[in-house]
Amino acid sequence: MSGDFDLGIVLIDIFSNIIRGITEFLPRLLTAFVVILIGWVGARILQKTLSSLLDRIRIDSLLEKAGISDSLERLSLKDTPAVWLPKLVFYLLMVFFFKTAAQVAGMVEISNMIAAFFAYLPSLVAAVIIILLGSTIGRFTGRAVTHAAGESGVEYAPMLGRLISGLIFFVVAVMAIAQLRIDMQLVNAVVLIIFGGFVLALALSFGLGTREITRNIVAGFYARKVFRVGDEIDLDGASGTLRAITPLSTIIEQDGRRIAVSNCAFLRRRNS
């Protein structure tokens, strides 16, 4: 009898604890639901307000003029900033209200996980901004180098512009990785080795292998500032009418024949 009586008391205690837990949790759950509902309404209002504001200031046109729209398209963003920015703000606000609701409901682990996400968010945003700005600056610099090299008669001007743009983006990518709080010791070592090897190869190439080519290019650049097509010129024993100054040689028409003279002849002519 006493054994049956003790079992009944245990069962009653179990059911009492379950009911007490449910009764204590339901108000917290209801409060959490109200918090999410209020957050949803507030986030929707803010989304529509922000969308209207971005349309008024014509954010898409401003970013396109600044050259940032091309960088955003490379990130596979199909919508315009005026569309996805308000959506992003809405979802971030909803995540924040979910954190508050989880804290109210006593779900500490979920709340801490969302809090860790928000603590990491500024670093992520900074990395994205660095990538966007760096990509824009890299493309602008690459185009400027391509134009300047083309005006100077360099045949490989587009490749040179792409090279400069790629180097800038590489440096920017390293800066963005640093913002993500990733251990940079190994990354820095690899970057230094690659960059040092590239600089050494470039220096050896221009200093030894392409020394004569570099001299011709530089001489041709300055020759274009002094001489014009159609001028009568006497260069390295060839006299006649100047027809063209290419990156490496000067074309002179003499008695109906065209003679190619190395641009370095301008330097020898000056020295003599």
Render the burial of 173-189: b for 16+ CB within 10 Å, e for the rest.
bbebbbbeeeeeeeeee
Please check whether residue 64 is in contact with residue 25, taking contact to mean a CB–CB distance below 8 angstroms: no
CATH class of 227-271: mainly beta
The tokens of 202 are what? 């470039």
Establish whether domains 123-209 and 227-271 are of one fold: no
Q: Would the pLDDT of 121 be above 80?
A: yes
Report the distance separating Cα 192 and Cα 205, nearest Å: 20
- DSSP 8-class letter at 207: I
- DSSP 8-class letter at 12: H
Place of tokens 């709340």: 111
135/201: higher pLDDT: 135
Mean of all residue pLDDT scores within the chain = 78
**Beta bridge pairs of residue 242:** 252
Query: What kind of architecture, by CATH, is found in domain 123-209?
Result: Orthogonal Bundle (1.10)
Q: Would the pLDDT of 27 be above 70?
A: yes
Q: How many Cα atoms sit within 13 Å of 216 on the Cβ side? A: 17
Report the distance separating Cα 247 and Cα 262, nearest Å: 10
pTM: 0.55
Place of tokens 């490989």: 156
Kindly list the domain boundaries of the chain, sorted by start residue: 1-106, 123-209, 227-271
Question: In the prediction, which pLDDT does 67 show?
Answer: 67
Question: In the prediction, which pLDDT does 86 show?
Answer: 87
Question: In the prediction, which pLDDT does 41 show?
Answer: 92
